[in-house]
Amino acid sequence: MHEQTIPDRLKISPYLIFYAIMSMQIGLGAMDFQRLIAKYAGYDAWISILFVGACLHIILWMMYKIVETVNGDIVTAHMYVAGNYLGKVLSFPFILYFLVHSLATLRTFIEIIQVWIFPDLSIFWFTLGFMLLCMYIVFGGLRTVVGISFFGLVLPAYLLLTFGFNLPYSNFGSILPILDHSVKDLLKSSFHMSLSFIGIEIVLFLYPFIKEPQKSKKWAHLAILTTTLLYAVFAIMTFAYFSEGQLQKAIWPTLMMWKILKLSFVERFEFIGIANWNLIILPNVCFSIWIGSRLVKKIFNIKQKKGVYLFIITHMAIITFIHTRKEISLLNSMMAKIGFAFIMLYIPLLFIAVQIAKKVKRK
């Protein structure tokens, strides 16, 4: 049982998987991950980041093994293991997974705009505008979505340099002594870091669309390595800038670090940072809608366009009911737990199931 062959004109070059994975991983998690991980492991939390990064390389290797064995995506893998009907039933929850992913991303971003810039921003109208933009991009096909992920990484990259202004006020001695937390604390911290790393699972869905997928492996591993190092360096810079007490009071430490930056032409630089963040979360939402609508197409044999409309209408219907900080936090922590279960638990199980099915089928 093989994938329908996908014409070459719809496929992406192997190196583009680098941008696809990184743009999914660097989303809104980058705004507040420092506070979440420092809560458990204090300023040893940067070790947790490196640990999670190392684990993800193993998970990525498993994902490539799964998709290579079945020569398709995760739906093909489920059918390979559980048969046609059950395979589709197993694949259905992933439609909801990507729906929650894009909802959590977009609603958290709207909250940041409301808190920092426009307190009276209409959730409905902003979502409508954002969804129409996403629809336009997704209708352009996967190549357009990947193109946006390229720009969503490259154009706002200059923001990294702006954190250099915090260095004169930083005290790197506060990170010492190293390793004065228990392994249990570090593991708790690692669990909370995994939310910021959610995104590598898109390999399971994009694989059939990669030209010469073998060549994409090194780029996928490089993406994880780059994200891990970025997060680790960024965490250390944040820890050197804030005391532990201050950090726990800062809801979005990344935005707080911009407050120090005063330029002659703009008084509050965080406005520019938030505006640029729009570009960073755009591919997050577009990928979720594209993958979700493709799953709708494969499971229910409905045109992908209808799946996109379905996703957008569902977003519009749900997002206006999420109002308070408590509800948004609940949505994010739910996404973190589901993402952790999917990446760290479900993928290894699926990997084992596929290997067993392969042996049985050989006999």
**Residue of 145, 142, 146, 291 whose CA lies nearest to 204:** 291
Residue type, 209: F
Q: Is 256 helix (H, G, I), strand (E, B) or coil?
A: helix
Q: Is 12 helix (H, G, I), strand (E, B) or coil?
A: strand
Q: What would the DSSP string read from start to end of 79-143?
A: HHHH-HHHHHHHHTHHHHHHHHHHHHHHHHHHHHHHHHT-TT--HHHHHHHHHHHHHHHHHT-HH
CATH of 8-354, picked from 1.20.1260.10, 2.40.160.40, 3.40.50.720, 1.20.1740.10, is 1.20.1740.10
Q: What would the DSSP string read from start to end of 324-347?
A: SHHHHHHHHHHHHHHHHIIIIIIH
Query: For the whole prediction, is pTM greater than 0.75?
Result: yes
Domain boundaries, the chain: 8-354
Q: In order along the chain (363 residues), what is the average pLDDT of each group of 10 residues?
A: 70 93 86 85 86 93 94 91 91 94 93 91 93 95 94 90 84 78 84 83 92 92 94 89 84 86 80 90 94 93 93 92 90 89 93 92 83
